């Protein structure tokens, strides 16, 4: 079954989104390679938050969840 003009038009943005996403990933990689100390600082922050969350898990699960959520946003 041949592709219609509409299906071709709808399929064109998908490759562009993929190219944009790839470009963003490459930008982040280059940024990390050019600033390794920033990446190490972020990893240290995440490790500290993870350690604190593990310590709090039994006594305050809600606070531990907030720390993990904060940890997940580091580097974004």
| pLDDT tens, N- to C-terminus, the chain (76 residues) | 455 555 555 555 677 788 889 999 999 899 889 999 998 999 999 999 999 999 999 999 999 999 999 999 887 6
Task: Indicate the DSSP class of residue 12.
Answer: S
Distance CA 50, CA 56 (A): 10
Q: What is the pLDDT of residue 1?
A: 47
Distance CA 69, CA 66 (A): 5
Q: What is the pLDDT of residue 43?
A: 92
Q: What is the pLDDT of residue 51?
A: 95
Q: What is the pLDDT of residue 23?
A: 92
Q: pTM for this one?
A: 0.59
Distance CA 63, CA 69 (A): 10
């Amino acid at each position: 079954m041949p592709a219609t003009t509409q299906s071709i038009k709808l399929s064109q943005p998908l490759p562009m989104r993929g190219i944009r996403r790839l470009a963003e990933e490459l930008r982040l990689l280059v940024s990390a390679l050019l600033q390794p100390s920033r990446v190490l600082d972020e990893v240290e922050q995440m490790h500290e938050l993870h350690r604190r969350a593990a310590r709090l898990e039994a006594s305050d699960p809600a606070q531990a969840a907030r720390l993990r959520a904060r940890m997940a946003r580091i580097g974004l």
